[in-house]
Amino acid sequence: MSDYALEVHDLRVDYGDFVAVDGLSLKIPRGKVVGLVGPNGAGKTSTFKVLATLMEPTYGEVSMCGLDVLEETAKVRKLLGYMPDLAPVPSDLKLGEFLEFHADTHALGNKAQRRARVDECLARVNLTAKRNAWCRKLSRGQTQRLVLAKTLLHEPQVMILDEPASGLDPLSRRELRLTLQSLAREGVTVLVSSHILSELAEMCSSIIVMNQGKLLASGTAEEVRSELGSDRREMTMKVLGTTGELFSWLTAREGVSELVQEEGAVKFDFVGDDEAQVQLLADCVRAGFAVKTLEEKRASFEEILVEVAEGNETPLEE
């Protein structure tokens, strides 16, 4: 049995002449919530459709829990829960009816067993009280939770959720995060996409960043931040007395650039890790400067992604 829930090797998806996914390789361990993030058009949905057995790639190898996704499709589908972006729910069914219908299609035991499983899944997403409500009466967050309950019915080992948090308010996002994290603690692997990096940073133990079909960075949120070259911090150092000497002293320091001298303060950009920043401050104090405060401002996750997207070439209109 493979240690990995998902293994992707050299995946490529073409739409005609357009390359949507280009040489993507990934390994996702079991029992984790992993985020896939990238600007619009990065290739997230195309990747998910291949992983979810809904689309054949141009080439590449994909396996789920050691099964070949392209060859052993029926077995893979039993292990898999896929929640597409904005999945529709029928307006003319009640929640319980909707879930029982799907429990039926999964052939989940006899009527009583199916009913019990529906109840478990409703409880899991905190919708028990709505069992007899009409699907059309649900809010956006409740609809997402209902679709999640449906995705959970057959106890999938790997869940692939396309933008599940989009349009949710902070409370619904928190509930979603808690549900996904508790599934992961039970050994389920959850792969979740978003184009909002901060949303994934709080939900996932690791993040994969895609851009223009390619893998750009992967790891913890902090690792991704430094892999994308966003170690840059905007610093403001306030000191007692004049700032001229401090300005000259900082100019000669590694990682320091864009110095600006102000009344009682020097502003500069610093590129380096936390240890290097601590060292800079310690050296500064040791050199005799009366440092009052040091403020840092780092690029937010959203700014990092905007920088990535801005670096993309925009095709010229014909």
Ligand X SMILES: Nc1ncnc2c1ncn2[C@@H]1O[C@H](COP(=O)(O)OP(=O)(O)OP(=O)(O)O)[C@@H](O)[C@H]1O
Q: Which residues bind ligand X (CB under 6 A)?
A: 15, 18, 20, 38, 40-46, 195
Least distance from C-beta 55 to ligand X, angstroms? Answer: 9
The alpha helices in 228-265, defined as continuous H runs, are 244-251
Contact (CB, 8 A) for 227 and 211:
no
Q: Single out the residue of 138, 139, 137, 189 nearest to residue 159, CA to CA.
A: 189
Return the number of the residue (47 or 277) whose C-beta is nearest ligand X: 47
Residues 181 and 16: their CA atoms lie apart, in Å, by 39
Contact (CB, 8 A) for 227 and 221:
no
Contact (CB, 8 A) for 223 and 204:
no
Return the number of the residue (218 or 243) whose C-beta is nearest ligand X: 218
Least distance from C-beta 29 to ligand X, angstroms? Answer: 23
Return the number of the residue (62 or 152) whose C-beta is nearest ligand X: 62
Q: Quick one: tokens of 308?
A: 């990535």
Residues 19 and 249: their CA atoms lie apart, in Å, by 50
C-alpha Rg value of the chain to the nearest Å = 25
Least distance from C-beta 68 to ligand X, angstroms? Answer: 22
- b/e string for 250-261 if b means 16 or more Cβ within 10 A? beebebbeebeb
Least distance from C-beta 77 to ligand X, angstroms? Answer: 21
Least distance from C-beta 44 to ligand X, angstroms? Answer: 4
Least distance from C-beta 163 to ligand X, angstroms? Answer: 7
Local structure of 137: helix, strand or coil: helix
Return the number of the residue (40 or 132) whose C-beta is nearest ligand X: 40
Return the number of the residue (199 or 231) whose C-beta is nearest ligand X: 199
Residues 314 and 303: their CA atoms lie apart, in Å, by 19
